[in-house]
């Protein structure tokens, strides 16, 4: 194969399929037999806009196949999870395992690229692993001026869930080589399918850039979330405040919500904090503010439920953001589950992207239902996610009901 993509998740599968659509012969590798089977049958195990058709075509043409073992390839792309380990420190065990699985197969001239969000210094660890397992190869080292027998580069994924297929091709890419020659090798691959610019740098800078991008967003959302709590306390409407402040030419405040979800923005800033715990004060505080916003929201809703102890409550949305079927690290889901412990049987949940409720919600007596039924029965309406399917609702539609809108949706 020309390219082996290790990890067929939210990033690896779309990347493998896009590469295949640009004419590359791609083998997708995953530890899950089930995922490999599904992909080989032309199917997808994750929901993402336009992905099903892309994978189907890629397997039909024979350019994409999947396997549980790593083949010999010209390029290896690692796209495996890097979860948060104990004490909010990064866990790169899957990246290390992927590097170990590649090492026996790799031939001189090949290039290994890591796309997983990783703490700074990860590419150097990948170099250590391959060097240890393959003493016969000259593995390039950070700061070397000449290339080695293989190339090693870090190229972070930066696609937005819900727009992955589009952004994989459209976005600019930051490509960090362990040496300049390594960066050049990796740029050659990305330039074959990326319409944005391929910006070449070193691996440590590329690792930092990825963490900084998501920390930037987290800090900005934390500002909006903190404003919403300040506004609550002083009794002004935060949505009016933000709308009007944003009419200043140099102010652009993001939108408050019930907290920050997904497994990127709520995780990656901790990687930066772990690397420089004393210096990263604002980044850590932003994480704490955003985590606290979910607790604050839960307490506010609990207060409303106590005012009307018999009332049924319509809960709109569980996903981690609008128009997506992704519930990972979703503050909306966490809030709903926490509330269900006390009043699950009063909860009518509307989530167009869920086929069933979680065990916590259903065993507590919560019911998954349609918007119409929930609104007909509930005296309290809580908006946790502003899915397009809810956006036609106005305050007037809900007159006579107690409303709590964490997304400012009912304003529009």
Please list the active-site residues: 210, 264
Q: Give residues in contact with ligand SAJ (CB under 6 A).
A: 117, 157-161, 213-214, 217, 221, 254-255, 257, 260-262, 264-265, 320-321
Q: Which is nearer to ligand SAJ, 44 or 343 (CB)?
A: 44
Q: Which is nearer to ligand SAJ, 140 or 408 (CB)?
A: 408
Q: Whose CA is closest to 384, among 328, 307, 320, 329?
A: 320
Under a CB-based contact definition with an 8 Å cutoff, are residues 156 and 198 in contact? no
21: enclosing H helix or E strand = helix 12-21
* Minimal distance, residue 53 CB to ligand SAJ, in Å: 22
**Cα-only R_g, the chain:** 23
* Minimal distance, residue 161 CB to ligand SAJ, in Å: 4
Under a CB-based contact definition with an 8 Å cutoff, are residues 175 and 201 in contact? yes
CA 59 to centroid of chain Cα atoms: 26
Q: How far is it, in rounded angstroms, from Cα 349 to Cα 60?
A: 40
Q: How far is it, in rounded angstroms, from Cα 391 to Cα 402?
A: 18
* Minimal distance, residue 109 CB to ligand SAJ, in Å: 30
Q: Which is nearer to ligand SAJ, 111 or 159 (CB)?
A: 159
Q: Give the three-class secondary structure for 5.
A: strand
Under a CB-based contact definition with an 8 Å cutoff, are residues 376 and 348 in contact? no
* Minimal distance, residue 42 CB to ligand SAJ, in Å: 26
Q: And the tokens for 168?
A: 């994989």
* Minimal distance, residue 85 CB to ligand SAJ, in Å: 18
Q: Whose CA is closest to 207, among 281, 116, 296?
A: 116
* Minimal distance, residue 406 CB to ligand SAJ, in Å: 9
Q: Which is nearer to ligand SAJ, 262 or 344 (CB)?
A: 262
Q: Which is nearer to ligand SAJ, 148 or 257 (CB)?
A: 257
Q: Which is nearer to ligand SAJ, 245 or 308 (CB)?
A: 245
Under a CB-based contact definition with an 8 Å cutoff, are residues 145 and 187 in contact? no
The one-character DSSP state at 159 is P
Q: How far is it, in rounded angstroms, from Cα 270 to Cα 275?
A: 9
* Minimal distance, residue 333 CB to ligand SAJ, in Å: 11
CA 368 to centroid of chain Cα atoms: 25
CA–CA distances in Å: residue 22 to residues 57, 60, 100: 12, 14, 28
Under a CB-based contact definition with an 8 Å cutoff, are residues 94 and 116 in contact? yes
What's the number of CA atoms in the CB half-sphere (13 Å) around residue 303? 8
Give burial (CB, 10 Å; 0-12/13-18/19+) of 120. Answer: buried
* Minimal distance, residue 357 CB to ligand SAJ, in Å: 20
The gap between the terminal CA atoms of the chain, to the nearest Å, is 52
Q: Which is nearer to ligand SAJ, 5 or 73 (CB)?
A: 5
Give burial (CB, 10 Å; 0-12/13-18/19+) of 54. Answer: buried
Which positions ≥6 away from 62 have C-beta within 8 Å? Answer: none
């Amino acid at each position: 194969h020309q390219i082996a993509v290790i990890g067929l998740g939210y990033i690896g599968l779309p990347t493998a399929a896009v590469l295949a659509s640009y004419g590359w012969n791609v083998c997708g590798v995953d530890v899950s037999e089930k995922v490999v089977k599904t992909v080989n049958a032309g199917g997808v195990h994750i929901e993402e806009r336009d992905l099903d058709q892309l994978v189907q075509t890629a397997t039909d043409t024979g350019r994409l196949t999947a396997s549980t073992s790593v083949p010999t390839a010209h390029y290896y792309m690692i796209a495996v999870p890097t979860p948060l380990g104990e004490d909010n420190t990064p866990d790169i065990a899957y990246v290390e395992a992927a590097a170990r699985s590649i090492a026996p197969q790799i031939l001189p001239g090949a290039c290994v690229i890591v796309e997983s969000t990783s703490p700074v210094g990860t590419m150097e660890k990948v170099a250590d692993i391959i060097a240890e397992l393959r003493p016969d190869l000259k593995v390039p080292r950070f700061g070397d001026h000449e290339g080695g027998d293989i190339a090693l580069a870090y190229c972070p994924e930066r696609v937005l869930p819900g727009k992955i297929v589009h952004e994989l091709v459209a976005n600019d890419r930051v490509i960090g080589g362990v040496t300049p020659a390594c960066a050049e090798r990796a740029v050659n691959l990305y330039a074959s399918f990326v319409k944005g610019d391929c910006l070449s740098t070193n691996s440590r800078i590329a690792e930092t850039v990825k963490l900084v991008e998501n920390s930037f967003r987290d800090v900005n959302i934390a500002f909006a979330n903190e404003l919403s709590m300040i506004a609550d306390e002083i009794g002004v409407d935060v949505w009016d405040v933000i709308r009007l402040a944003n009419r200043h030419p140099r102010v652009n405040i993001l939108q408050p919500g019930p907290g920050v979800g997904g497994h990127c923005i709520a995780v990656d800033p901790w990687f930066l904090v772990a690397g420089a715990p004393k210096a990263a004060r604002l980044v850590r505080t932003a994480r704490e503010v955003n985590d606290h916003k979910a607790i604050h929201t839960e307490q506010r809703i609990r207060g409303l439920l106590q005012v009307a102890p018999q009332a049924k409550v319509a809960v709109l949305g569980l996903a981690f953001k609008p128009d997506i079927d992704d519930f990972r690290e979703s503050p909306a889901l966490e809030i709903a589950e926490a509330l269900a412990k006390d009043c699950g049987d009063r909860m009518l949940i509307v989530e167009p992207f869920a086929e069933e409720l979680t065990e916590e919600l259903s065993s507590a007596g919560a019911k998954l239902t349609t918007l119409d039924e929930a609104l007909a029965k509930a005296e309290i309406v809580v908006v946790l996610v502003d899915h397009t399917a809810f956006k036609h609702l106005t305050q007037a539609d809900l007159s006579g009901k107690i409303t709590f809108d964490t997304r400012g949706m009912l304003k529009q």
